[in-house]
């Protein structure tokens, strides 16, 4: 039993807001003998993801810009918890180069558009959906990708699309995108974590 605990693969989730994708992962790994969500981290003390983590009895850590960018505290915390994979679920800050280099190919993000369109600094949430609508796109989608030191530029892992119908509202487009996210993000993350060797 002790060996099994030692061999458990561990995920850390970074989120800045509601954390609905984080919740899907918490549900997936709630009683999984091989994988656990070991920590939820946020830069927003009011983020609803903290409540979600509390509901699943998952430890949380709130940090500010100084701790994230000017200290090694976060890296030390992740190392101490033996984190195997970092999952970004609506996390809005750029990941520091040092953290990227400590976890090469082990940080994954989901973006609410078909990259490379509608990516980059400031392109998140409603900003993305409004830009997609303003451009008159007939398709929206999601991109799951590895994280490098630039916003939304890491290697793509999966892209999924949905149709934008004439007359679709912002809420309708958000709903379609979120359906895709909830369907595919847990599946992709599960595939990635299973490939990691302890």
The catalytic residues are 111
Give dist(CA 20, CA 95) in Å, integer. Answer: 21
User: Ramachandran region of residue 55, left (φ > 0), alpha (ψ -120 to 50) or beta?
Assistant: alpha
Contacts by 193-198 with C-beta closer than 8 Å and gap 24+? Answer: 193/9, 193/11, 193/35, 193/84, 193/85, 196/9, 196/84, 196/85, 196/106, 198/7, 198/9, 198/84
**Four-residue CA torsion sign, 75, 7, 26, 174:** positive
- How remote is the C-alpha of 76 from its chain's centroid? 20
Token representation of residue 13: 């989730």
Q: Which residues are within 8 A (CB) of 51 and not within 5 positions of it... i.e. 6 or more apart?
A: none
Angle, vertex CA 194, rays to CA 193 and CA 196, nearest 5:
65
């Amino acid at each position: 039993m002790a060996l099994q605990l030692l061999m458990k693969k561990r995920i850390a989730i970074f989120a800045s807001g509601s954390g609905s994708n984080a919740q899907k992962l918490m549900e997936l790994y709630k009683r999984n003998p091989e994988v656990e969500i070991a920590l939820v981290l946020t830069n927003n003390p009011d983020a609803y993801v903290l409540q979600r983590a509390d509901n699943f009895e998952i430890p949380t850590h709130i940090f500010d810009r100084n701790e994230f960018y000017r200290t090694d505290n976060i890296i030390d915390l992740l190392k101490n918890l033996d984190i195997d994979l970092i999952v970004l679920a609506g996390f809005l800050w750029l990941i520091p180069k040092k953290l990227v280099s400590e976890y090469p190919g082990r940080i994954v993000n989901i973006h609410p558009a078909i990259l490379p369109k509608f990516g980059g600094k400031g392109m998140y949430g409603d900003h993305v959906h409004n830009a997609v609508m303003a451009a008159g796109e007939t398709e929206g989608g999601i991109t799951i990708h590895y994280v490098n030191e630039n916003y939304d530029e890491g290697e793509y892992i999966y892209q999924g699309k949905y149709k934008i119908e004439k007359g679709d509202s912002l809420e309708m487009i958000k709903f379609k995108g979120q359906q895709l996210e909830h369907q595919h993000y847990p599946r992709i993350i599960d595939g990635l974590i299973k490939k990691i060797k302890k």
